Structure formats: C-alpha cells, structure tokens
Amino acid sequence: MFVLVNLKAYPCDPVEIGTAAETVAAETGARIAVAPQAADLRAVADTGVETWAQHVSPVEHGSHTGSTLAERAAAAGAEGTLLNHSERRLRLADIDDAVAAAERAGLDTVVCANNPAQVGAVAQLSPDAVAVEPPELIGTGTPVSQADPDVVRAAVDAASEVGDVPVYCGAGISTGDDVAAARDLGAEGVLLASGVAKADDPEAALRDLVTDL
C-alpha cells in the first residue's frame, strides 16, 4: 500500500512532516510520500522522503505565467504529481495534457476522480494510478471505505476494465484501520491530507497508518 500525504495549504511544517514520513518509511519499510506546496518541494525532498507535487500544469515551456511547469517540479525534487484533485479540477483534455507533461518530466501521476465512472474515463489517459475521492467525504474523517465501500469496489472494477491501472482510495482516510479497509476492497494505496497535516503528532499519525501494512 502506498500512502500519499497531501499537505494542501494547511498551516503545518512541511519539513517536519517530511522528516517524520521519511523516518517512519525507513523504519517500517512502508512507501510514504508527501505532497507539499510547490514552494516547499525542494525543502521537503531534502529530507529524503518521496516527494510529490500537488499539481502540474498542462503546458510546455513558454508564456504560461502562474503555471507549475512539470520540469521545474521535477528539478525541485518531485518524483510524482497529483492531478485533477477535487480542489484543482481539470477538463479531460487538460488532464490528458498534464499527464503528458508529467511523463515528459519523468514524474509519476495519480489522477483523482469523484466516482467510478470518472475513474474509468481518466484511466484511459494512462496515468500511473487513479484515486477515487468522493468530494463530500474529503476532510470529514469518514472514509469512503466505510461510508460506501461499493464505490471503491466499483472504481477498482472500472480501472481494471481499462487495463492494469492501480486504484488508490481517498477522502476521509485517517487511521490504520481505514488503510486496511481500503486494501481489503482492492485499493493499492491511499491519499489523505488532514489526518496527518492537522495531527498534533504527525509521526504518530503516520505510524498508525502503516502499522498493519
């Protein structure tokens, strides 16, 4: 199971969380990555933790003020990127271009989707993985694996109909039990944010997430 922690724009210390994630990953053998703000990519990557961008823009070099160029994210230490998070929606054509931009820069991709139908659609764009995240559950502490496990099962089925595209489970993940439940439903990873970024003790929260992996 892959644990991908999105720090969003929360008022947390990205280096502290990166350091904690690297410590837990090294001690447990779990695969943990942290996705900080673009300005913090290099600082987090310097902790040694697997570092992801929260977004890259569907553009190449050129006149694109305010865009996040995939090549610059990679140069700052990113190894992958989220795309189409519910808080950073893209049109399907732009998802396709953003996946291409990430591939051009050597970045892995996880494309987020609201439901199984969207999972099937974005899986056809050949990302490295898709994450099913019902937006109404994001930040609630209630995981989709508990609220509606059939959503996860259907997402896994939709992706498998397209090809060998791993499915991650997002929205409301906060405990090791949530991670285990996602795994048992066929997910190969989890995407979470507040469960770590808002935790009083991020390292303890991370340890709990990977205890049973």
User: Mean per-residue pLDDT for 1-17?
Assistant: 98
Q: What are phi and psi of 7, to 5 degrees?
A: -85, -5
How buried is residue 164: exposed, middle or buried, by Cβ count under 10 Å (0-12/13-18/19+)? exposed
Q: For residue 127, is pLDDT > 90?
A: yes
Our answer to whether residue 64 is catalytic in this structure is no
Q: For residue 141, is pLDDT > 80?
A: no
Among the listed residues 22, 50, 55, 133, the single catalytic one is 133
d(CA 197, CA 12): 6
Q: Provide the pLDDT confidence category of residue 137 given band limits of 50, 70 and 90.
A: low
Our answer to whether residue 133 is catalytic in this structure is yes
> Chain-centre distance of CA 106, in angstroms?
17
Q: Provide the pLDDT confidence category of residue 212 given band limits of 50, 70 and 90.
A: confident
Closest CA to 21 of 190, 207, 182, 187: 207
Q: What is the pLDDT of residues 152-196, one digit of tens each?
A: 999 999 999 999 999 999 888 889 999 999 999 999 999 999 999
Of all residues in the chain, the percent with pLDDT exceeding 70 is: 98
Spatial contact of 141 and 171, defined as CB atoms under 8 Å apart: no
Closest CA to 81 of 126, 44, 151, 129: 129
Among the listed residues 85, 87, 103, 161, the single catalytic one is 85
User: Mean per-residue pLDDT for 54-68?
Assistant: 97
